[in-house]
DNA sequence: AATGAATGAGAATTCATTCAT
DNA sequence: TATGAATGAATTCTCATTCAT
């Protein structure tokens, strides 16, 4: 993967600073004045926790650094001992959410077997993670655009890593002969899966009023595997119920 | 549809002010000091045009009202003759984009016939509209969350109207016996179509590097109608090419 | 009367521009673009009427020229055909109020006779005028300070003219042998009378809750003529009632 | 005293928020971001000092917050650490002036004895305080009207407290048999005294040119106690000089 | 390390005044 | 004469960031 012209959820076309999204990319460093690594970690955790709940409530721009400091339980001066700019907080928050999601997914995708069953299971699991973390997901996708150019590649990288998980899962199925899909088809499929998960969170104002999570999983899986035609026929035959 | 607890792309849980998303809802009025309706329309068009390009570049929050005025080609004082608050600009922008998208869709969905072919055609057309307006789409979905509570129902309503278009299209197919889907399945399907369209714009940083629009349309349609299994089999049989 | 260092209800120490308060001073001209004198007068009357009611409600500074124009029944453009600056409106308003008050007083003080009775009658009449015009009185005294330096002498002059009326009335009594007061005593007395009148308007929040106008007139007159000692004795003797 | 329909020096008729002027009323709190109470006091003192001198010069409305900050010796940002709105400054200024006046009066009225002599002494003292603080008095009475509804009761209350001081002084004389006055007469008298004091400041442009403070005190006292008639007779008899 | 007072650039909004029609 | 759209200087207030204690 080379030079990004990333415009995922981002406004500015990326300039020189923002390039190469390499898998296995190192974390972007956020400078702290305080040396004690353990303390830095603890303070940042407090900070992220406070910030997430504030961002949920009012978004990044409407949240002030003072509020973040207060929510984190320390003073504004202390806040700035652990970050350099307000945007650092946003980066830490996004990074942390990605990590949590990835972690939860990784956990489950550990025992990848390359069967259709395990793929379905993986998808269902992903949807459930999304459901549990919907607030965070919302925050992340809505505010990530406010990250500056140099934080961007790291975030895009995370997105790619997530897609890669599903790609791997699907590829295993292909290798096992359970599926027969081209590279490109795998790519698009994994992105579609990810987006359908996000959909549960983004469109919850309507979806979550119409369906329970499990219904949603079932129906989406049905569509995903059998498509409109398949679903249509199955319904006709009575294989699946309304 | 009743009382919304909308959390679509919005942070604050909606209070009393923001309820009822009624189809056929009247436009929310944005007050102008200037009386000449025609002039108001013209100036607002200038304003929207300028604002969209600024919002694309730097987002709503980072764009100042002075910049908007300048981009629109008039003074800050004049800007405020046509709106009341900065947020009004955002509302006008979102409203305008929705209108354009809807219009473009409506145009095409006029000759709805209730055949699978026409449904496919409608979807393809929608994807193309998205492609043409991707910048605007991006702006709308990323900034709409900054609208205040009282502008919200109008925006949610637009979303519903868009979903309703596809619901109608699909329902026609069902009525014609071309498809056999339950109410709920129609619902979820139309939202999925919409989201897959948005995906082309949201994930363009990766999708548009891998696929041409027509490829994307073809592949998504394939998945949508036949699902993973169908695609998989077709590929095996050589019905479709990689 | 010479060089004023007027600080009546005015903030800035007066510079060169503001001097000589001469009795019989000509009115300060307020320039109009419109030539037709009659029209100018009519429009200004509309303007003053509207402005007074607005100033009553929200004060000079919080009232906008647009509001004044609207209240006057014409457009902002038209307003500026009859004045040069917003402050001109204030001057016209103050001037007009003074004129009304003076006129009402003059009317009554016409038949000055130089008896104590007629002095009492004059005072009572003045109090009644104040009562009738209290809103205007309030406006005038509260906003006059916003007049610029060059409008000031005219206003001070009006104040002097009012004091002069009572001075004349009292002087007549002195000349008639009904009273025996020095120049200075006459001066201070006439100012005191004027201020006691204003008091009815300025302190109405408490006075007008405790007394009717007629009670107030009676009591103030009693004090004015007999003083604390006199009132005290009269009460003791039962000459006056509580 | 209950429900006020105060229109003292105020434009808007008071709504629900502005009621009950209770003696012993607590001070209206002005919120500060800074915690250190002592510092808050010091900074506010600087602020008030600067503001008073600016208000004297150009009035509340024509003074900008930046000017206030500068006059106080700190930045605009710092100013807003100690107040919430510009109006807070006005409230602090008015409050401070009242406090100073009250304090100066209280000091002296401490040794109230209920003799006519001590009453005269109290009045003279009040006039001298007014003289010393005339600039502040002017500012207070001219700008107080710009206070919002919720600051009003506090200010009216102060006015009442001042009147109450004289009422007490007079009442003592009545109780001692030195005077014989009704409740209402006491009321009106104390207000008259207060207003005659203010008169020295409000009409200084003419009074202070004609009289020295001591002359003014003497003459007003004469009138106050003996009235026109008394003064007139005394002059005739040669008891007092011109 | 922690604190929180100080800073000032920057933002939205208002409104007196002008001027072309 | 009358109109009202256009203007932009001026104003209040916010908030990220710094730095002395």
Query: What is the rounded average pLDDT for all residues in chain B?
Result: 87
A window 214-233, beta carbon within 8 A of B = 215-216, 219-220, 223-233
Confidence (pLDDT) at C13 = 42
D16-33 pLDDT, tens digit per residue, is 333 334 456 777 899 999
Residue D209 domain boundaries: 91-237
3-state secondary structure chain C: CCCCCCCCCCCCCCCCCCCCCCCCCCCCCCCCCCCCHHHHHHHHHHHHHHHHHHHHHHHHHHCCHHHHHHHHCCCHHHHHHHCCCHHHHHHHHHHHHHHHHHHHHHHHHCCCCCCHHHHHHHHHHHHHHHHHCHHHHHHHHHHHHHCCHHHHHHHHHHHHHHHHHHHHHHHHHHHCCCCCCCHHHHHHHHHHHHHHHHHHHHCHHHHHHHCCHHHHHHHHHHHHHHHHHHHHHHHHHCCCCC
**D71 CA, F12 C1': separation in Å?**
17
Q: How sure is the predictor about D14, in pLDDT bands with cuts at 50, 70 and 90?
A: very low
Residue C57 has its nearest CB partner, among D5, D11, D163, at D11
- Asked if residue C58 is part of any domain, the answer here is yes
Please indicate if any CB of chain B lies within 8 Å of the CB of A8.
yes
**A114 CA, E13 C1': separation in Å?**
62
Token pair 């008394």: residue: D230
Let me know whether A214 and A135 are in one domain.
Answer: yes
For the stretch B12-50, what's the b/e string if a residue is b when 16 or more beta carbons lie within 10 angstroms of its beta carbon? bebeeebbebeeeeeebebebeeeeeeebeebbebbbeb
Compute CA distances C232 → C214, C240, D173, D189, whole Å: 20, 10, 11, 12
C window 112-131, beta carbon within 8 A of D = none
Among D84, D99, D126, residue at a domain's last position: D84
The answer for residues whose C-beta is within 8 angstroms of residue C74's C-beta and 6 or more apart is C43, C46
Let me know whether C160 and C70 are in one domain.
Answer: no
- Asked if residue A14 is part of any domain, the answer here is no
Contact in structure between B72 and B43 (CB atoms under 8 Å): yes
Share of chain C above pLDDT 70, in %: 88
Largest CA distance in chain A: 67
- Asked if residue A1 is part of any domain, the answer here is no
The answer for residues whose C-beta is within 8 angstroms of residue A146's C-beta and 6 or more apart is A60, A61, A87, A90, B59, B61
Contacting residues of B for A196, CB less than 8 Å apart:
192, 195
The C-alpha atoms of residue C162 and residue B223 are separated, in whole angstroms, by 94
The CATH number assigned to the domain holding B169 equals: 1.10.357.10
- Asked if residue C69 is part of any domain, the answer here is yes
Compute CA distances C7 → C54, C156, D142, D203, whole Å: 26, 10, 12, 8
The DSSP symbol for B12 reads S
8 Å CB contact of C206 and D160:
yes
Checking if the pLDDT of B206 tops 80, the result is: yes
Neighbours of chain B (3+ CB pairs under 8 A): A
Q: How many CA atoms lie within 13 A of D43 on its CB side?
A: 22
Token pair 């709190």: residue: D29
For C37, phi then psi, to 5°, come to -55, -40
Please indicate if any CB of chain D lies within 8 Å of the CB of C204.
yes
The C-alpha atoms of residue C108 and residue C157 are separated, in whole angstroms, by 21
- Asked if residue A6 is part of any domain, the answer here is no
The CATH number assigned to the domain holding A37 equals: 1.10.10.60
The C-alpha atoms of residue C242 and residue C237 are separated, in whole angstroms, by 12
Asked if strand E contacts C75 at the CB level, meaning under 7 A, the answer is no
Contact in structure between D72 and D51 (CB atoms under 8 Å): yes
Split into its structural domains, chain C has a count of: 2
Q: Among C22, C13, C19, which Cα is nearest to C158's?
A: C22
Question: What residue in A sits closest to B13 (Cα-Cα)?
Answer: A57
The C-alpha atoms of residue C44 and residue A96 are separated, in whole angstroms, by 69
**D36 CA, E20 C1': separation in Å?**
59
Let me know whether D196 and D102 are in one domain.
Answer: yes
Asked if strand E contacts D80 at the CB level, meaning under 7 A, the answer is yes
Structure token digits, residue B236? 């095996």
For B89, phi then psi, to 5°, come to -60, -45
The C-alpha atoms of residue C193 and residue D45 are separated, in whole angstroms, by 38
The C-alpha atoms of residue C62 and residue C46 are separated, in whole angstroms, by 20
- Asked if residue D20 is part of any domain, the answer here is no
Touch between chain D and chain C: 3 or more Cβ pairs under 8 Å: yes
Question: What residue in D sits closest to C5 (Cα-Cα)?
Answer: D205
At what angle are helices A86-109 and A116-132 packed, to 10 degrees? 150
Let me know whether C108 and C198 are in one domain.
Answer: yes
Checking if the pLDDT of D188 tops 50, the result is: yes
Asked if strand E contacts A74 at the CB level, meaning under 7 A, the answer is yes
Checking if the pLDDT of B19 tops 90, the result is: no
Let me know whether C102 and C185 are in one domain.
Answer: yes
Compute CA distances B29 → A9, B46, B131, whole Å: 30, 18, 30
Tell which strand E nucleotides have any atom below 7 Å from a protein Cβ. 1-20
Compute CA distances C23 → C2, C140, C185, D65, whole Å: 12, 20, 21, 41
Residue C207 has its nearest CB partner, among D12, D191, D223, at D191
Token pair 């002039």: residue: B39
Contact in structure between A207 and B191 (CB atoms under 8 Å): yes
Confidence (pLDDT) at C24 = 62
Confidence (pLDDT) at D3 = 30
Contact in structure between A46 and A32 (CB atoms under 8 Å): no
Residue nearest to nucleotide E14 (CA to C1'): B77
8 Å CB contact of C210 and D228:
no
Contact in structure between A91 and A147 (CB atoms under 8 Å): yes
- DSSP secondary structure, D40-72, as one string: HHHHHHHHHHHHHHHHHHHHHHHS-HHHHHHHH
Please indicate if any CB of chain A lies within 8 Å of the CB of B192.
yes
**C77 CA, F15 C1': separation in Å?**
40
The answer for residues whose C-beta is within 8 angstroms of residue C215's C-beta and 6 or more apart is D184
Contact in structure between D232 and C180 (CB atoms under 8 Å): yes
- Asked if residue B16 is part of any domain, the answer here is no
Let me know whether D70 and D37 are in one domain.
Answer: yes
C193-242 pLDDT, tens digit per residue, is 999 999 999 999 899 999 999 999 999 999 999 999 999 998 887 766 65
Rg of chain A over Cα atoms, rounded to whole angstroms, equals: 20
Let me know whether D75 and D101 are in one domain.
Answer: no
Checking if the pLDDT of C151 tops 70, the result is: yes
Please indicate if any CB of chain D lies within 8 Å of the CB of C4.
yes
8 Å CB contact of A204 and B57:
no
Residue A180 has its nearest CB partner, among B58, B226, B232, at B232
For the stretch B93-115, what's the b/e string if a residue is b when 16 or more beta carbons lie within 10 angstroms of its beta carbon? bbbbbbeebbebbeebbeebebe
C229-241 pLDDT, tens digit per residue, is 999 998 887 766 6
Among C43, C63, C84, residue at a domain's last position: C84
8 Å CB contact of B61 and A146:
yes
Please indicate if any CB of chain C lies within 8 Å of the CB of D237.
no
Q: Which of B5, B206, B218 has the highest number of chain A CBs within 10 A, making it the mutation to test binding with A?
A: B206
Share of chain B above pLDDT 70, in %: 89
The answer for residues whose C-beta is within 8 angstroms of residue B207's C-beta and 6 or more apart is A188, A191, B199, B200, B216
Let me know whether C198 and C156 are in one domain.
Answer: yes
Residue A104 to chain B, least CA–CA distance (Å):
23
Q: What is the mean pLDDT of each run of 10 residues along chain A (242 residues)?
A: 36 39 68 96 97 94 97 98 97 92 83 88 94 91 86 84 92 94 94 96 92 97 93 79 64
8 Å CB contact of D179 and C228:
yes
Classify residue C122 as left (phi > 0), alpha (psi -120 to 50) or beta: alpha
| Nearest nt by C1' to D87 Cα | F12
Q: How many CA atoms lie within 13 A of D237 on its CB side?
A: 8
Residue nearest to nucleotide F1 (CA to C1'): C34
Contact in structure between C118 and C169 (CB atoms under 8 Å): yes
Let me know whether C78 and C126 are in one domain.
Answer: no
Confidence (pLDDT) at B12 = 42
The C-alpha atoms of residue C187 and residue A235 are separated, in whole angstroms, by 106
Structure token digits, residue C139? 């406006």
Confidence (pLDDT) at D242 = 55
Tell which strand F nucleotides have any atom below 7 Å from a protein Cβ. 1-20
8 Å CB contact of A188 and B223:
yes
Q: How sure is the predictor about B39, in pLDDT bands with cuts at 50, 70 and 90?
A: very high
Checking if the pLDDT of C6 tops 70, the result is: no
8 Å CB contact of A12 and B236:
no
Question: What residue in C sits closest to D205 (Cα-Cα)?
Answer: C6
Let me know whether D140 and D222 are in one domain.
Answer: yes
B62-113 pLDDT, tens digit per residue, is 999 999 999 999 999 999 999 999 999 999 999 999 889 888 888 877 777 8
Let me know whether A97 and A172 are in one domain.
Answer: yes
8 Å CB contact of A7 and B204:
yes
Among A84, A103, A120, residue at a domain's last position: A84
- Asked if residue A19 is part of any domain, the answer here is no
Let me know whether D137 and D55 are in one domain.
Answer: no
The C-alpha atoms of residue C171 and residue C82 are separated, in whole angstroms, by 42
8 Å CB contact of A11 and B160:
no
């Amino acid at each position: 993967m080379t030079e990004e012209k990333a415009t995922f959820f981002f406004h500015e076309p990326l300039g020189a600073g923002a390039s190469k999204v390499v898998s296995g990319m190192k974390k972007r460093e956020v400078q702290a004045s305080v040396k004690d690594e353990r303390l830095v970690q603890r303070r940042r955790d407090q900070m992220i926790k406070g910030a997430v709940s504030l961002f949920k409530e009012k978004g990044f721009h409407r949240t002030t650094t003072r509020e973040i400091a207060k929510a984190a339980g320390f003073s504004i001066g202390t806040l700035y001992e652990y970050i350099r700019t307000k945007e650092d907080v946003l980066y830490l928050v996004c990074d942390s959410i990605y990590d949590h999601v990835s972690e939860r997914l990784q956990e489950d995708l550990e025992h990848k077997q390359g069967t259709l069953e395990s793929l379905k299971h993986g998808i269902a699991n992903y949807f459930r993670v999304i459901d549990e973390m919907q607030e965070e997901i919302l925050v992340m996708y809505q505010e990530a655009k406010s990250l500056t150019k140099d934080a961007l590649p790291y975030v895009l990288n995370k997105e790619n890593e997530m897609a890669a998980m599903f790609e791997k899962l699907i590829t295993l199925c292909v290798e096992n002969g359970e599926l027969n899909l081209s590279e490109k088809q795998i790519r698009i499929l994994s992105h579609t899966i990810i987006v359908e998960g996000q959909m549960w969170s983004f469109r919850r104002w309507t979806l979550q009023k119409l369906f329970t999570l499990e219904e949603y999983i079932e129906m989406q899986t049905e569509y995903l595997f059998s498509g409109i035609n398949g679903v249509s026929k199955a319904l006709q035959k009575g294989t699946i119920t309304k």
